[in-house]
Amino acid sequence: MFLGSFGTGKTMTLNLLLKQLLWDKYAVYATTFTSMIEMFTAGWKSMEDQALFQKKVKQSKVLLLDDIGKEMRTRNNLSESTFDDVLRSRVQDGRPTFITSNMTIEEMGQGYGSAIFSLLREVSIVCEFKGDDFREKSSKRLLDEALSGVVRPIQ
């Protein structure tokens, strides 16, 4: 679990890791937690969407769940039960799951329940990201580069 304030590089770091895993021929899937919930509920009406959820979220070799807790502005039993189901399924199958959140692990336990909190504590390595939001500096650098004619080729 990569935990810390917004803009400290959690998602960027994990996306770089996933790029390397793709080069190494691993089946990876990255999604926000909110999008995962939307994908799950789409499966209620469509067997095709349900199969896609199983393949991408539950069966991918490596999963990135980005921004856990963003949807927790109100208590949401669907979020809690889906997170529990996905996490338990992936743990039982020995499939790694990377998680990013602006919450602390204790806040995750309060938001998603003690059972998930206990499982996360058992199977997780917590990496705390500390520091300032880099996006303001990054935005200024990009603007300065654009104004001076710097172009970065995409490779």
Residue with tokens 């889906």: 82
- CATH fit for domain 2-147, picks 1.10.357.10, 3.40.50.2000, 3.40.50.300, 3.30.1490.190: 3.40.50.300
Residue with tokens 């190494």: 24
SS3 67: strand
Q: Is the Cβ–Cβ distance between 36 and 82 less than 8 Å?
A: yes
pLDDT per position as a tens digit, 39-89: 999 999 999 999 999 999 999 999 999 998 876 655 567 888 888 899 999
pLDDT per position as a tens digit, 73-130: 555 678 888 888 999 999 999 999 999 999 887 888 788 888 888 888 899 999 999 9
Q: Is the Cβ–Cβ distance between 132 and 6 less than 8 Å?
A: no
Residue with tokens 């990496």: 127
